[in-house]
Chain A
C-alpha cells in the first residue's frame, strides 16, 4: 500500500512554538512522524541581549501565555543567583502561590482540550467553565488573568490581604470538587477510556533517553519533578507528593495532571495558611548585575523549563538561552506515534500538552493521486472520511 503524508498543524503566527507534524501513514498505521518547526519565538533570545535586565522580565513573561509566571520565575531566579539577590520569604511564598494557580488552570485547560479532541465537546465546555474562576483568581492576585507581569528582581509587585485569601480558598473549594468529578469521568467513561488507554505508549527508559520532561515523563512512571529534586521559590518548605502513573499511555499522562491539580490546590491552602509576614520586594529596583552565569530550572505545567543566563556585568545580559518543555516533548515525543492509528495522532499530541497551534488546519495529500483536502484537526480526530 502507498504511504500517505499528512501534515498536521503548520505555522500559526498568533501562537508561540509553531510546529508541524509530517505524518507518514501506511493505511491507518503511522509509520513515521517528522517534526517541522516554526521559528517566530526564537527572536526572544536575540532581543533579550539588547534589553536591560528589568525589561527582560516582561519580555520572557511573554514567551508563553498560559505559563507566563514560570517563565518570569526561571528568568528572575537565574538573575538573582548571579547577582546574589535575596528574595524575602513572603515574596517567595507569593511566587509559589501564583505558579500553583497557573498549574491548576493549565492542567484543566489541557484536560478540557483532550476531551474535545476525543469528541466529548460537552465535557470540554464544562471544564473550561470551571477553569475560568481560577483565571479570575490569577487576576485577583496579579492584576491580570493571562499576562501577569507579577515579578520583579528580588520580589513580586503586589501583595495579598485577608479578603483575597478568603476569596481564593472559597473558589478553590468549588474547583476541587469539580476536578475530582472530572477525574472520575476520565477514569470511568467508556469512550474516553477507549480513546486514551494504551494509546501512545512511551516506555520509562525511552522517556528518559529521549529527554522527555514533566507529566509526560511522570506518566511513564519516572519520579522526576524539579519542585522536589531542585527546590526553588518556597517549594522546599511546602509538603506535596510527586505524582507518577505506570500506564505509560495517554490516559496515565492525563491522570498525572488531574492528581497534580488536586495536589496544587492543597499546596495553595498550605501557602495561604503559612504565608510569612514582611516585605515583598526590595525598596529600590536592582539594575546592574555582576559577572556570572546561571543554569535556572523550574517545573512548568508542561515540565522542566530551563534558562541559561550569562552576564558579563552591566545592565544587560550577554546571553539568555530559553528551552521550553514543549521543545523536548513535541520533537522528541515522536517516538509515541509509531504504529499508532492516524486518528490517535491528535490524542497523542494533546497528551504531551503541546504549546502549539492545535486548532490549525490540516492538509491531507494523497501521494498517488496528488489530490489534497483541507481538514481541521478536530475533523481528523474523528477519523478520515
Chain B
C-alpha cells in the first residue's frame, strides 16, 4: 500500500473493505425471506449466520494486509 500503513494505527484504504459487511447485514430487504432454506433453516437466519463467518474472514484479510 501507500506508506500510510507504515505506522500501525494510521489510516489504511484496506479499511474500506469493512463497508461490505455493514451493507450486507444492515439492509434487511436483502435477507428478510424464508427461501431458499438451508437444511430447513430459513434464509433470514442462515444468511446472517454466514455473514458472521464472512465478516471474520474480511477482518482477517484486512489484518494480514495492514500488519507490518
Co-complex (A, B)? no
Interface residues of B (CB under 8 A from A): none
